C-alpha cells in the first residue's frame, strides 16, 4: 500500500511539474511575443467554427510566422489581421490570389462558410501560414489561462501544490532516515551496558 501511495505521489508531482512548466512557458512567451511559440511555430486558439470540420472550435493550431506572401497559393490556410479590425485575427483558406496596388492580395473563405469573406486580404495583413498541425480542445485551456482566474488556478495553485508535495516527500525521507538510525543507537547502548556488566 505504501509503495502504491509513493508511486501515486510521484506521478502527481511529475504531472503538476510538467503542467506548471508548460503553462508558465506559454504565459511568458505570450506576454513577450504576444503569441505563444514552440519550436518556431506560433500557437493560435480557434474560437469559432468557420473552418470546421478540418479545424474544430476550441482547437489550437500551429502557424509558421514570417511567411512570404508571394509563395502563398490557392488552398493555403493563413492567419491574418481583419481588414476592419487589425486586433482581430482570422484563420481562413485562400480561394483566390489577386493583385492589389502591385502586391499580392487574397480572397479568403472559411471552409464552413457559404460565402467568401468580404474584401481582399492585403499581403501586409498576413500574419502566418497554417502548418496542418492541430490539437483539439487546448484552445479553451489557453484562452482560460489568459484570464485572472486562469492564472490563479493554472499557475499559482499547481505551484503551491508542487511545493507542498515536495515538502511532504522530503519530510517522509527525513523521518525514514531518523527511524533507521534508532535501532543502531539502541544496539550501541545495549553493547555498552553488556560490556560494563562484564567488567563489573
pLDDT at residue 132, as a whole number: 94
Contact 117, 135 (CB under 8 A): no
Strand 103-109 versus strand 121-122 pairing type: antiparallel
Backbone phi, then psi, for 50, in 5-degree steps?
-65, -20
H/E element holding 87?
none
Helix (H, G, I), strand (E, B) or coil at 115: coil
- In angstroms, the CA 98 to CA 96 distance is 6
- In angstroms, the CA 78 to CA 65 distance is 10
Residue with cell 539502541: 186
- In angstroms, the CA 94 to CA 78 distance is 7
Backbone phi, then psi, for 196, in 5-degree steps?
-65, -40
Residue with cell 493555403: 76
Q: Which three cell numbers stand for residue 108?
A: 479568403
pLDDT at residue 180, as a whole number: 74
pLDDT at residue 137, as a whole number: 86
Q: Which three cell numbers stand for residue 60?
A: 489550437
**Sign of the four-CA dihedral 177, 178, 182, 184:** positive
Contact 91, 61 (CB under 8 A): yes
Q: Which residues are catalytic?
A: 48
- Is 4 exposed, middle or buried (CB count within 10 Å of its CB: 0-12, 13-18, 19+)? exposed
Neighbours of 108 (CB within 10 A): 22
Q: What is the pLDDT along the chain (200 residues), one digit of tens a residue?
A: 666 666 766 776 676 667 667 666 666 666 666 788 888 899 998 989 999 999 999 999 999 999 999 999 999 999 999 988 988 999 999 999 999 988 999 999 999 999 999 999 999 999 999 999 999 988 887 777 767 777 677 667 777 777 887 788 788 788 888 777 766 555 555 554 444 444 44
Contact 62, 136 (CB under 8 A): no
pLDDT at residue 199, as a whole number: 47
Peptide bond into 77 cis (omega under 30): no
Amino acid at each position: 500500500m505504501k509503495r502504491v501511495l509513493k508511486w501515486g505521489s510521484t506521478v502527481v508531482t511529475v504531472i503538476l511539474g510538467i503542467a506548471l512548466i508548460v503553462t508558465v512557458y506559454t504565459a511568458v512567451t505570450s506576454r513577450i511575443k504576444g503569441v505563444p511559440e514552440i519550436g518556431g511555430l506560433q500557437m493560435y486558439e480557434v474560437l469559432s467554427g468557420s473552418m470546421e470540420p478540418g479545424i474544430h472550435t476550441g482547437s489550437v493550431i500551429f502557424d509558421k510566422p514570417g511567411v512570404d506572401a508571394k509563395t502563398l497559393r490557392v488552398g493555403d490556410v493563413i492567419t491574418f489581421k481583419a481588414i476592419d479590425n487589425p486586433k482581430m485575427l482570422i484563420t481562413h483558406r485562400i480561394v483566390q490570389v489577386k493583385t492589389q496596388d502591385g502586391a499580392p492580395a487574397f480572397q479568403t473563405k472559411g471552409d464552413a462558410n457559404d460565402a467568401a469573406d468580404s474584401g481582399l486580404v492585403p499581403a501586409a495583413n498576413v500574419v502566418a501560414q497554417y502548418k496542418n498541425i492541430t490539437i483539439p480542445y487546448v484552445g479553451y485551456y489557453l484562452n482560460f489561462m489568459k484570464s485572472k482566474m486562469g492564472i490563479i488556478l493554472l499557475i499559482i495553485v499547481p505551484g503551491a501544490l508542487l511545493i507542498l508535495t515536495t515538502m511532504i516527500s522530503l519530510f517522509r525521507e527525513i523521518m525514514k532516515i531518523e527511524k533507521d538510525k534508532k535501532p543502531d543507537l539502541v544496539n550501541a547502548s545495549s553493547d555498552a551496558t553488556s560490556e560494563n556488566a562484564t567488567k563489573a
